[in-house]
Amino acid sequence: MTTRSLEERLRDVEDRLEILNLIAAHPPGADTGADTYIRTAWTEDGVLDLGSDKTMNGRDTIASHVRIPGHQAAIEFGICHFAGLPHIALNGDTAVVTSYLQILVPQDQGEPVDVPNHGVSKGFRIHRAGANRWDLVRTKEGWKIKHRVSAPMNTNTQCVSTTCAAPVALSRKVRVSSRSVPLPATTSVQVRTAMFSMPAICCTR
């Protein structure tokens, strides 16, 4: 096992905290239409791949997406991007982040529920759940998003887009603990397995 200096370990902690803040800021940024903030989170040549041939190139295009009428209507409706704790794989001046994301929307059916001291509501429903791979780079302004791919969790998805690199990744090996496990060649549910399991699960101290 490689022994790292205290300075190296401290830098690792600082990097991870900065990356956590970067990823954590995505949901409130999307839910408030904060295009100015979103523009600062991406590299100038950033790419956002949401699947179904819905790819945005360049941070200005990505940031402006939250200002389109459809997204503004979703905000008015009460959309909530609810993110899970991300896994961070650091590699010098680059990092790969893996995270789950749920899209929650107000429930407009059913009977209202009265929760003591928390009001009356019909609650929320999970509209969609997906997995995200974020490729980050260190810049002189800090960590930035260079590429993000979002894949739905349903099992009948063939690929997130026509430019998806998942079929290539499927032939690679995924490191689990100290073993290398080859993935089966399939284009179904294991597409996301390949895309989001490539970073090493183990972390070197």
CA distance 15 to 3: 18
CA distance 8 to 6: 5
Q: Is the pLDDT of residue 2 over 90?
A: no
Confirm or reject CATH 3.10.450.50 for domain 6-156, answering yes or no: yes
Convert the pLDDT of each residue in 34-89 to its tens digit: 999 999 999 999 999 987 778 999 999 999 999 999 999 999 999 999 999 999 99
Query: What's the gap between Cα 188 and its chain centre?
Result: 20
Convert the pLDDT of each residue in 108-137 to its tens digit: 899 999 999 999 999 999 999 999 999 999
CA distance 63 to 110: 36
| Predicted local distance difference test score (pLDDT) of residue 51 | 79
| Predicted local distance difference test score (pLDDT) of residue 187 | 36
CA distance 130 to 108: 23
Q: Half-sphere exposure of residue 194, counting CA atoms within 13 Å on the CB side?
A: 23
| Predicted local distance difference test score (pLDDT) of residue 154 | 72
Any idea how long the chain is? 205
Computed over every residue of the chain, the mean pLDDT equals: 81
| Predicted local distance difference test score (pLDDT) of residue 189 | 46
Residue range 187-195: mean pLDDT, rounded: 45
Place of tokens 């022994």: 3
Q: Is the pLDDT of residue 172 over 90?
A: no
| Predicted local distance difference test score (pLDDT) of residue 56 | 96
Dihedral angle sign, alpha carbons of residues 159, 165, 170, 173: negative
